[in-house]
Structures are given as structure tokens and as C-alpha cells.
Structure 1
Amino acid sequence: MKSQITTKWLGEMRFESTNPSGHNLYIDAGEENGGKGEGYRPKALMLSALAGCSGLDVASLIKKMKLKVDNFKIDIDANLTEEHPKYYDKVVMHFHFYGSDLNESKLQKAVDLSIEKYCGVMEMFRQFSELSIESHFHNN
């Protein structure tokens, strides 16, 4: 299956990028790098893709397993190397689940299935980064 996007320069440091979903996004550098901060930063966008990919897996599994979850979020802490080309060499994902009746073992299974089997972005990150995954359960 092929994917194609088109990323068009809008002048200065700003770009517009198409997406197969039909929703375009803007990419821009920060002011410290000659941009105006009017878009996503490319490296941070990679972290959002990682969280989004795994989050979609977990959300789908929550539905399939009929689990009760009021809310969940994924926080990512990533370390950027000092030397160019700079990349994320260490990434820690924190899955936070909120609810009054959380089934922790099944939620952990959903996270494990995403990180071990389903999330393709996670597999891409494994090629260049040391990944750590932590689950946190917040019972109301």
C-alpha cells in the first residue's frame, strides 16, 4: 500500500502538507529558527504520530474489549541528541487511564498489543530510539 503526501512551500519557513484524510496541516519553524511558529514542528509531529498511532490502537481495543474508561491520554518525554542530524534517541511514553472501574490488566493488555503488534509508527521509532512504556491507572 502506497502513501503519498504533497508538502508545498508557502514562503519563509512555512509549509502546507496534504494528508490522505483530506485534512492539511501546516509546518513552520520557531522564531529562533527564522519562522513564525505558525505550524507544527516536524520532530514534535513525529511524537504526535507515535502517540496517535498507539492511541488509535488502544481506543479500538477498549471498544472491542468493552472496557470502562472515562478518559485516557498519552504523554511523551523524548530526548533529542545534541549533534546534527538531531533525532530522538530516548522516548518514554506514559499511558494515563482515568475512570472509576478500570480493568487494569485488560488495559495493560491493550497497551501491550499496540506496542508489540499493531503500531507501525512504534516499529519505525524502534529503528532509531530506545523506547520505554509506562502505564498509569487513575481510579476516581
Structure 2
Amino acid sequence: MPTIKSSYLGNLRTSSTHLQSGKNILTDAPVDNNGKGEAFSPTDLVASALGSCMVTIMGIVAENNGHKLDGLDWEVTKVMQSNPRKIAEIIVDFQWEDPISDPVLIQKLKNAAKTCPVALSLDSEIKQTINFNF
């Protein structure tokens, strides 16, 4: 059974619907690649998926150890290269105002993030720079 149904809307825009939830995502080509840049680009979604996947797996580990990730935020920077145009690097910067004080659990969280399914699925040529600011 399909997971996502997508359509081309014209003008370098697509629409994708997550079939289980009915939630919709639009993408646009970025301005520097002939697009409007009015929505995530497909490569933005890849970069965003890395950070979201990391936090999801960290959340599972935290909850399995009786903790929550309240107050954890992150920023993602996507670095593109040309010839061929592709993602060269994804930088994820985590900030946590009031982190868990257990150093063993903190290391488990970091290890979980670095081995999330998206991190393991990305081509090894894409540099993953992960900064844990906690």
C-alpha cells in the first residue's frame, strides 16, 4: 500500500499527501533554481527529515528511560553544491535550555540521534555535521 500520493501542480510546485493522516505538504523549487521559494524545496525536506528523525529517536530513548525532551530545539542548515547540484552537507545544531543531567543518558541520546534511520539512509557523500549544544 502506498504511503504518499503526490501531484505536480505546475510552476515547479508539487503537492504530497500522507495517506494515513491526510496531511499535505507543498514543495517549490528554490529561487536559486528557477522556483518561487514559497515552500520547502525537496532538498529542504531531506535536511529537515534528518533533524526530525534524530529528535524522534532521541525522544524514544528518553521516554524509555523515564525522561522527556522538553525544551529541546534545533536548527538545520542545508549546504548545496553544484555540478552536479546536490546536497553537500546538512548541519544540525541542537540547543537544550535544561538538559537531562545524566551523562550516560545524554550519550545514549547522542548515539541514538547519529544512528536514526534518516542518518543511516543518506548517501555517505553527504556530510552530516551534528552539534549538541548541551
Same fold at TM > 0.5: yes
Structure 1 counterpart of 2:53: 53
If each structure's strand is expressed as a fraction of its own residues, which one has the higher value? Answer: 2
Please name the residue that 2:8 is paired with: 9
| In 2, Cα distance between equivalents of 1:102 and 1:127 | 33
Contact residue 26 and residue 38 of structure 1 kept, 8 A: no
| Equivalent residue runs for 1:68-79 within 5 Å | 69-79=69-79
1:129 paired residue number: 126
Q: Which runs of 5+ in 2 are unaligned?
A: none
Within-5 A mapping of 1:100-115: 102-115=101-114
Rounded Cα–Cα distance in structure 2 between residues aligned with 1:7 and 1:22: 12
Shift of 1:95: 2.1
Deviations 1:27-81 (A, max 9, x none): 1124554443332211111111111111111112222212364310222233211
- Secondary structure of the structure 2 residue equivalent to 1:18: strand
Q: Is the 8 A contact 1:79 1:88 kept in 2?
A: yes
Structure 1 residue 102: Cα displacement:
3.3
Alpha-carbon spacing, 1:53–1:99, altered in 2? closer, same or farther (3 Å) = same
Matching residue's letter, 1:95: F
Counterparts of 2:36 and 2:50, CA distance in 1: 25
Which range moved further: 10-19 or 52-61?
A: 10-19
> RMSD over aligned Cα, in angstroms?
2.4
- TM-score (ref. length: structure 2): 0.80
1:19/1:128 CA distance change after superposition, 3 Å: farther
TM-score by length of 1: 0.77
Distance 2:99 2:50 in 1: 27
1:98, distance to aligned residue in structure 2 (A): 1.9
1:120 aligns with 2:117: yes
